[in-house]
Structure 1
C-alpha cells in the first residue's frame, strides 16, 4: 500500500461524487460538495467512509440536490458521513465544536462552486488562527482523554492506529496546531511517520476486509507479509517506532504550544529568547533546557547527562536540537564512569514523571545508544505476558518512575535505580531473563563505576527481582523453609529492602492487577518474615515462629465444626471470599466447586488449617456475590446434592498445553509441596483438590495465583504421620493429578 494507491482511491471517489452531484442537477454556483477529514486530505483507506458536506451560500437554496445527491452514492455501496449546511452554519459549528473544526480544516473541493469552497476554507482557517489561543487549551483535555482510553501506539499490547497516542489522529492534531501559525513541527519527520502509519492501516484493512484500526496480537505476522517485512517482530518495531516518533513530536509541540499560550506572545516575535542558567553549560529558555553561551560541548563529556537530569527534574523539555548537537560534538564518557557522571544518571532516573519525555528525547536523538548501548535489545520489545500494559522498554522506564517514590525507604537509592533500569535487560535474549540479565547488569554496573560490592548488589537484584512476588504467591509463608530460602538468596536486610522496593515498583509499572492489595500484602508479609529471619540469624538466635493468617473463627464454627461459614468483602471490581469450617479432607474442593458453579473468576487464593479449623480466602474478579448463596453451594456439593463433574465439563478439542505437575522437595521440610502449572481455564483448582480428596490426602495449605494466561497452584500436602509423604507416594499423587487435569472438567477456576 502506498500514497499513490490512496490517491487513486480518492480520485475514483471524487469522480463518483462529481457524477452524483451533476446527476442530481447540482448548481454550478452558490453550492459546493466538499470532502472533509481523511477524504479531504486525499487519504482514503480501503474501507473508509466518505466524509462529505454539501455547503451553500447563506442566501442560496440548494434545492433537491440537498437530498438527491446522496442516493447514487448509497446505491453504489459507499458508506457516508454527510451533512448539508450553509456557510454561516458551518462556521458557527466550527466555532462551537472542536471536533467539527478539526475535520473542516482539511476541507477540499469535489464538485459545484470552487470559489465557495475556497471562501469557506479561507474563512475557517482565519477563524482557527484568530481563536487559537482560546481553542488550544480546550483541545488539550480532549486529546488527553483519548490517550487515556486508547493507550500509546508505541507500547499498547493492542494498538489503535488511529486513536492511540502517537496515532493518525495525533498527526492530524499536530497539523491543526501548525495551522495556527503559533508553533511549528519538523514536517519531514512527521510526514514520514504519518505516511508509514497510513500504509499500515491500509494493509490492516485490506487483510481484515473491513474498516478496522486496531492491530491484535494475531495480526502481526500477516501485517509483516503485507508490508514486506521480515517477521512479526519487525512489523511491531516498524509500527511502534513511527508511533513513538509521532508521540515525541506531539508531546514536544504541545509543550511549546501550552507555554506560548500561557505567556501570550508569539515565538516569532522574540529574536533573543532569555536564557536562565540552571547548571554549568545548561540554561532554561521558554520551558526547554538548552545550552548556554558558555557551554563547550567538545570538552565536557558530562554535558549531556547534566542537561538531561536538569530537564527531567524540572519536568521540562530537553531540547532535541541541543541533544542532537551534544551527540555529534560531545566526547564519550570515559570508562569506568566518574562519580559525577554516575550521580547525574541517578538524578535523571530519580526524577519521577519528568523522566519519561526526557528519556524519549534521548532515544529519538540517538543519545541513549551512547549512554546505554544495551537498551537497543529491549527497545520496543513486546512483553510475552498480557499482565504487562507496556512494551519492555517503556515498562523499564515506568519502573524507574515508580522507584523514584520509594528511594527514601532504602539505604542505596543509586543501586535501586540502576537495578530498576536493568531489571528486564535480559529479555533481549532467549532464556530466563533474570538469569540472562544478571551478567549484563554486572557489566553495565561496572562500566558505570560502581564499587565491587554495589556491582554485586545490582546483579543480585536483577537476578532475583521476581523472587519475592513469585515466592509470596506460590509458597506457604508459615513454613520456615520459605523464609529460609529467600533469606539465603538475599543475604542481608539492606538488600532485602532494595528488593522489596524493586518488587513493588516492577509490579506497579506492569499493571494494577500485578500489585493488588492481595499480592502487596503477601509480598510485604514475606519480606517482614524474611527480615526477622535475617536479623535472628545475625544475632545467633532462633528464628521467630511465624503466626498464621489472622482470620477469626466464627462463633458458629466454634460451636459446631461441621458448620460452614462464608463471608464476602467487596472491593471495587473484585471481592474477597472467606470460607471457614472444621478441617476435613475435601473441604477445599467443595469451596472451589462452589465458586466454579457461581462462575467466579479466581485471581488468587490461600488456604490453611490451624487447631482443627480450615480457612480458605479467595480473591475473585466478580462482585455482587451473596454469602448465603455461596454457603448453600458449598453444602450442596459437600452433601452430594450437586455433582460438579456433571456441570463442569471441559469443551472438547481444547488446545491448551499439557499441564505441568511437579513435586518440589526443596520447598519444605515438613510437607510435600505439589506445584501445578496449567492454562488458566475453568475448573483447575477444583479438579486438583477433588483428586487429592479422593486419594485421602490432606492439604495443609494451598496457594493459588493467576499469572497472565497461566495458573500456578501450589499445595502443601501432609502424609499419614503429619510429615512429608514418601517419595513414591508423592510421585503417584502427582501422576494422578496430571491425569485428572488432562481430562479436566471445566467451569470457572
Structure 2
C-alpha cells in the first residue's frame, strides 16, 4: 500500500506501543483489558478525526481511503502484537501456533471509506491448537468493543482455495488479499496456491462471471445510471463497475494497479487518466457522504445532495444550481465509466476470445461487410480512424446501419468514435445526408430507443445536436423527476414507439387509437425529442424550446408547416396536463378555452400522445388510470368542440338533454320519484357530472331518503382508472367540506378531485375521488370501513383532524423531503370559468394539505364548488372553484386580497418545527412537469 503523507499525525505506532508499555507491567492479562481498550479508542478516534479534517480541507478521496486503511492496519497490528506478545504469549511457538492477518475486499485494496466494514481474514496453519482460536477471539472482541465493524473469516489455506473455486464472491474477495501482519510464510503459501489453482486456466470463466454479476447488479439498481438519487457504489457506472475492471485486470494479468494495464495495451494513457479521475471523484464523494451521515451510506439522496455540492465547491450559476452542477458531474463521470467498461471488454474479447454476447443474424455470417462496415464477430465496426477522417458522417451512418440490421456496434468502433468526436462539427451538423440518417434513426418503426441511447453514451447525440448535449446528465432537483433530462427524453421516445406498436394499448387505449391518425409521424417524434431540450436554462423551458425547435427542424429537413407544428407542440407541451389536472372539465368555458388554444384536431391528437409519453417517462410510478381518464375526458370534449359541437351552447339545452338521458337510465322509476329527485338540484349539478355518475347518485339519494338516513357514505373503486369514488349525502352545514377532507387525510387517503353540491332542501351531496399514497385505488375493504367510521366520528366531533394531523406531521418528518422548499404561490383567475372564481394554490406537499386550505376557505366564508389536487414530488397544487355566500363569483378586490393573504399564511407554516415564515410570492405559473 502506498505511503500516507504525514502518517504519524494519523497514528504513530511507536507512541502507541510506548503508551501501552507504561501500564502493561502493572496489570495482569485480565486486568490490562480496560486501559488497553481506552487507549485504543482514543488513538483510533484521534486518527479518524485527523482524516476527517483532511477531508474537510479538500484532500482527494483516493488519499483519504488509503489513510483510513493505514489507520486500520496499525490498530490491527498493535492488537495482534498485544494478543500474541502479552496476553497469549508463547516463548517457543510451534508450527501449529501461527497466524497471519490478511486484509481482503476493499480493505485489501487499501481503499477503505470512513465507515466501511473491516474485511479481515485470519489465516491459520493446516494443523491448529486452541492458541489460534484464543488470539482470534480476543482480537475480535477488542475491535468490536472499540465500535469497529469487522467482517471476518477464519480459514486455513486449503479452505481458502476450496471455497474460492466454488464461490465467485469469495474468489473475488481473496483476489484482493493484502498481507497485514503475522506469519508471512502462510500468506506466501496462499498466494502461490491461489495463482496456480484458482487463477491459472480459469480466466474466461472469471470474466464471464464478473460481467454477469455486474449485469445482474445493474438490473437490480434500475438498469440506468441516470436516476436522480444514484447509488454511488452499486449503481450503473459507479464504484463497483470501476472495481470490476480492476478485478478482471488483476485476475488476468496479475497487476497491482490499473496503471499497469496501460503497458498491456488495454487502455491508452488518456483512458487511464479518465479511470483515475473517475475513481478520485467517486472516492471523494463517498468519503464526504460517509462523514456527513455518520454511517456507511452509498445512496446520494436528496437530503445530502446540497450539502455535498457545497462541501465539494459547486456554486450556483445562472440557470443551474450548485447541486444540479454537482449531480451533472456525477452522471457524466458515471457515463465515462461506462465508456471505459466497453473499451475494456472489447480488448478482452479480442485477446481472450470471449464468447460473443449477441448472436449474429444468419445473413451476416456470410458477409465480410454490411453497407460498407466490416463485420467483426457479431458486430459491425469501423476499419480505421482514416474512415472517419475522410467522411465524419460515417459516425452517424454506423448507428443507422446497426439499427437497420439489428446489430451491435463493436466497442472498438465506439472507442474510435469517441476519440474523433470533434470531427462532428458545424459542417457535419448541417450535412443533409447526416440529418436524413438521424431522422431515420429517430423515427425507426421497430423502436429507436436502444440506438439513441448508444449514440448518447458514445457522445454522438450531444455532439450532433449541441442543444441536446446541454441536457445530457442534467438533473432536476426535485422529487418528481426520476431521471436526468436526456434519459427522460429517450424514455419518452421509447414509449412513443411502444404506443405506436400497440404494446401499451391496455394502459393507453386512446393514444393507441389516435396515433395512427396522426398525419406526420416525424412531427410527433421530433416534438418528443425537443420538448424538454431547453431545460436547465434561464427562463421558461417551453418558450426557449420553441426557439430551439424553429432552428433545428429545418436542419432536420422538416417543412415550414411541420416546423410550425413542432414549435407549437414544444411551446405548449404542458398545456394539456395543466388543464386536465387543474381545471373543471365539465365547465364549457374550460373546454372552449383549451380548444381555441389548440385550434385543430391534428394538434389535439399530437398533443395528447406527447402528453401521455411525457408523463409516463417521468418515472415508473407517475402514471395512473385516473390521469389517463382526465386526459381522455379533455380530449373527447375538445374534439367535439373542434368538430363543430356546441360545448358553449345553451345551458338550458344541455340540462334538458342530461335530464332526458337520466330518465332513460332510470326507466324503472315512477314519474313522481324522478321529478322529486330532479327538483332537488340547481342547474350547476346537471352540468358538472357525466351520465353514469348521475345514475349512481340518483340511486344513492333515493335509497337514503327512503330509509330516512341522515348520513350516507358509499365507495366505488375503478380498477382501470386506479381511483376510488367516495360519495357522502348528509344535511349541509358550514365547514362540512373541510371536516370531510380532514377525515380523509386522517384515514391516509389522498384526494385527487372533489365535487360539492347543495340541494334545495338543504342536503349536501359531495363526491371525492381518492387514492392511496402510491396513487393506486383506495380499494382495501378494511381501510374503506375505517374511512367511513372516521368521517362519522369527525362529523360528530369525536375526531379533531387538526390535532391528529399535527401529531402525524411531527412524527413523519422525512429527511429526504425536508431539504426541499416550495415557494408559496396563490393565483386568482376570474376568466377561467363563467360561474366560478378559480384559485390555484402551489405549496410544499404535506399530510392534510387540502384540509388546511379548505378549512381556511371555510373560515373566509366562501363556497367551494369543486376542488382538484395534484402532486409533483414535493410540490402540491390545489385548484378551487369558489363562489361567495350569494352564489356569485368573488369579484371584490378586498375579499380576493384577504383570500390570498390567508392561504399564503397557511402555505408558509412550517408544520415540522412550528415556525411561521412569511415569504414573498412569485405570481408566475409554476411548471409542474
With structure 1 as the length reference, what TM-score do the two structures score? 0.86
Aligned-pair distance for 1:371? Answer: 0.5
Partners of 2:830 and 2:837 within 8 A in 1: yes
Bigger shift: residues 202-211 or 20-29 = 20-29
CA distance in 1, matches of 2:173, 2:124: 18
Aligned-pair distance for 1:36? Answer: 0.5
1:316 aligns with 2:401: no
1:714 aligns with 2:879: yes
SS in 2 for 1:24: helix
Aligned-pair distance for 1:44? Answer: 2.0
SS in 1 for 2:152: strand
SS in 1 for 2:479: coil
Match of 1:55 among 92, 106, 123: 123
CA distance in 2, matches of 1:67, 1:80: 12
Alignment of 1:489-638 (within 5 A): 489-536=597-644, 548-549=689-690, 550-551=692-693, 552-553=696-697, 555-560=699-704, 562-567=710-715, 569=717, 576-581=724-729, 584=732, 586-598=735-747, 600-602=748-750, 604-607=752-755, 609=757, 613-621=765-773, 624=780, 625-638=782-795
Q: Which residue of 1 aligns with 2:684?
A: none
1:21 aligns with 2:165: no
Partners of 2:628 and 2:721 within 8 A in 1: no
Alignment of 1:186-335 (within 5 A): 186=267, 188=272, 189-224=274-309, 226-230=311-315, 231-250=322-341, 264=355, 276=367, 280-291=371-382, 296-312=387-403, 314=406, 316-317=408-409, 319-324=413-418, 327=421, 333=427
CA distance in 1, matches of 2:167, 2:276: 26
CA distance in 1, matches of 2:853, 2:84: 76
Partners of 1:154 and 1:241 within 8 A in 2: no
Deviation per residue, 1:78-119 (Å, 9 max, x gap): 432111011222223223333222212111112234343244
Partners of 1:282 and 1:292 within 8 A in 2: yes
CA distance in 1, matches of 2:608, 2:143: 63
Deviation per residue, 1:232-263 (Å, 9 max, x gap): 44432333322222234346667997999997
SS in 2 for 1:426: coil
Give the 3 Å change call, closer, same or farther, for CA 675–382 of structure 1 in structure 2.
same
CA distance in 1, matches of 2:306, 2:823: 25
Give the 3 Å change call, closer, same or farther, for CA 68–641 of structure 1 in structure 2.
closer
1:361 aligns with 2:457: yes
Partners of 1:282 and 1:295 within 8 A in 2: no
SS in 2 for 1:711: strand
Deviation per residue, 1:616-645 (Å, 9 max, x gap): 211232764533332232233334454434
Give the 3 Å change call, closer, same or farther, for CA 481–514 of structure 1 in structure 2.
farther
Give the 3 Å change call, closer, same or farther, for CA 262–688 of structure 1 in structure 2.
farther
Q: Which residue of 1 aligns with 2:244?
A: 173
SS in 1 for 2:113: coil
Q: Which residue of 2 aligns with 1:270?
A: none
Partners of 1:260 and 1:266 within 8 A in 2: no
Across the aligned residues of Structure 1 and Structure 2, the Cα RMSD in angstroms comes to: 4.2
Q: Which residue of 2 aligns with 1:392?
A: 485
Partners of 2:356 and 2:378 within 8 A in 1: no
CA distance in 2, matches of 1:192, 1:621: 42
Q: Which residue of 1 aligns with 2:850?
A: 685
CA distance in 1, matches of 2:63, 2:301: 27
Greater gyration radius: 2
Partners of 1:151 and 1:159 within 8 A in 2: no
Structure 2's unaligned 5+ residue stretches are 1-58, 86-92, 254-260, 316-321, 359-363, 502-514, 655-686, 913-929
Q: Which residue of 2 aligns with 1:465?
A: 573
SS in 1 for 2:617: helix
Match of 2:230 among 159, 176, 189: 159
Partners of 1:687 and 1:744 within 8 A in 2: no
Structure 1's unaligned 5+ residue stretches are 268-272
Partners of 1:298 and 1:331 within 8 A in 2: no
Partners of 1:570 and 1:576 within 8 A in 2: yes
Match of 2:463 among 354, 361, 370: 370
Q: Which residue of 2 aligns with 1:413?
A: 521
CA distance in 2, matches of 1:334, 1:538: 52
CA distance in 1, matches of 2:468, 2:571: 18
Deviation per residue, 1:48-101 (Å, 9 max, x gap): 332110123434554643434435544655432111011222223223333222
Q: Which residue of 1 aligns with 2:495?
A: 402
CA distance in 1, matches of 2:849, 2:545: 33
Bigger shift: residues 65-74 or 387-396 = 65-74
Aligned residue pair count: 738
With structure 2 as the length reference, what TM-score do the two structures score? 0.70
Partners of 2:380 and 2:402 within 8 A in 1: yes
Match of 1:105 among 159, 162, 175: 175
CA distance in 1, matches of 2:157, 2:478: 53
Aligned-pair distance for 1:40? Answer: 0.6
SS in 2 for 1:626: helix
Q: Which residue of 1 aligns with 2:45?
A: none
Partners of 1:557 and 1:581 within 8 A in 2: yes
CA distance in 1, matches of 2:598, 2:426: 35
Deviation per residue, 1:560-589 (Å, 9 max, x gap): 355422316397998635224269465533
CA distance in 2, matches of 1:168, 1:76: 28
Q: Which residue of 2 aligns with 1:34?
A: 102
Give the 3 Å change call, closer, same or farther, for CA 500–481 of structure 1 in structure 2.
same
Bigger shift: residues 408-417 or 570-579 = 570-579
